[in-house]
Amino acid sequence: MRQLSSYLWAEIIKEHRHSFHSKMIYFSLLVWPAIMFVTAYYSFAPFRLGPDSPLARFVAPDQLPLFLLTGYLGYIFYWCLVQSAWQMSFERQAGTMEMIFISPVNRLAFLYGRSLSSLVEGVWLFFCFVLLALLFVGGLHPSGLWAPLLAFVILLVSAVIWGGFLSVLFLFSRDASFLYTVLDEPMLIFSGVRLPPMAFPFWAKVISFCFPLTYALQLIRGLLMKGETLLVLAPKIGYLAVVLLVLVSATVLLLKQAEKHMKETGNMVMY
């Protein structure tokens, strides 16, 4: 356990030095997501947002800022791991990722440790912005004092598991740019970041529920905006748990298949 924690800490330091070589990057961590949030909010301005508006069937008008804040917070958590996995694919092409197979640390721990380090580096500033924004935004109706903590844990755990799965996909893929295209913009559009999935047509709902972020946002908004109890949220928690279990199983399976493929061919590219 001590060896694993030391390795995870070393991975966080390495990720920090690799990604944050300029102080301006810290500035962009806040400005870019904040601009996205403001742009999304004012994109609704030309439309009728009163109690009788079509959107009010899914989101109360006074909760729209909170709806977008939670949506973009969840998106940033997941998006930074898409970026990290994409970066891993470039490291593999440069021949610097053999450490995943020669490191004494468990491979799964390596992937999840890298995901966690990327998450810490990528979201902390926007997370602080959201906490400050919540002081001025209405519509917050938590289930209890425990609700914000549970919402954070749900977002953190689900994002790390998602990041580990993406890392395997990108690490052994021949064309990581294709995966990036498929997993980035569609997640923003269909996961309920800016619009509730229930407002989508059926075909879009099917795409929406392919992303674990969709389930995570439903839980977070239920805890913070609707004041739903654990009993009410239990089915949604179950759905997310099943999705995460599938992702963990797929991650382990892909790692084993990749190792077998490498032993047989000497090539890290599996598909």
In this model, does residue 21 exceed pLDDT 60? no
CA dist., res. 253 & res. 261, Å (int) = 12
CA dist., res. 15 & res. 20, Å (int) = 8
Q: 143-175 in b/e burial notation, b at 16+ Cβ within 10 A?
A: beeebbebbeebbbebbbbbbbbbbbbbbbbee
- Most confident range (mean pLDDT) of 39-53, 110-124, 207-221 is 207-221
In this model, does residue 269 exceed pLDDT 60? yes
What pLDDT is stored for residue 15 in this prediction? 55
Mean pLDDT of the residues in the chain = 78
Q: Which range is least confidently modeled, 67-76, 124-133, 191-200, 230-239? A: 124-133
Residue extents of the structural domains in the chain: 1-35+54-265
Higher pLDDT, 235 or 94: 235
Residues 19-25: what's their mean pLDDT?
55
Higher pLDDT, 148 or 54: 148
Q: Which range is least confidently modeled, 5-9, 185-189, 223-227? A: 5-9
By 3-state DSSP, what share of the chain in percent is helix, strand and coil, each rounded to 5?
A: 75, 0, 25
Residues 43-55: what's their mean pLDDT?
62
Band of the pLDDT at 257, cuts 50, 70, 90?
Answer: confident
Residue pLDDT, tens place only, 28-45: 666 666 777 677 766 665
Indicate the pTM of the whole model. 0.82
Residue pLDDT, tens place only, 68-86: 888 888 998 998 888 777 7
Residue pLDDT, tens place only, 149-192: 999 999 999 999 998 898 888 877 777 677 777 777 888 889 98
Residues 58-63: what's their mean pLDDT?
77
Q: Are 154 and 216 in contact (CB under 8 A)?
A: yes
